[in-house]
Amino acid sequence: MKGDRELIAMRRAGQKPSVVWVSDFPRTTMDGLTVCVHGDTPELLDLRFLVGVTVLAESPDQKRLERLVEACKAHAKRVVGTQFDGRDVVRILDTAGHMTWQA
């Protein structure tokens, strides 16, 4: 996992972002609000820094997106997961049930 240290430091300083991106795409740069989990096992990630925030999760793979949403929702206030096929949105999962959609 990359990008989590910045968020953990932010939370320890008493700050809470309203939204955090959890990306399953390979990334080389982090912006302080994005966590890259590409290549990691979703069920083994320590995602406690997501407590109380809305998570925007993204993955190109349907099963992996479902696993990421499950892992994140254990801590997050809400998770909106989006599956991309490389160009278009294929599926949206929303733990609040408002934005769930499949092409």
Q: Considering the entire predicted model, what is its pTM? A: 0.91
The model's pLDDT over 2-61, given as tens digits with 9 standing for 90+, comes to: 999 999 999 999 999 999 999 999 876 778 899 999 999 999 999 999 999 999 999 999
**Which residue ranges make up each domain of the chain?**
4-102
Is residue 66 predicted with pLDDT exceeding 70? yes
pLDDT of residue 101: 80
pLDDT of residue 102: 78
Angle 91-96-100 from CA coordinates, rounded to 5°: 20
How far is it, in rounded angstroms, from Cα 56 to Cα 83? Answer: 11
CB 58 within 8 A of CB 25: yes
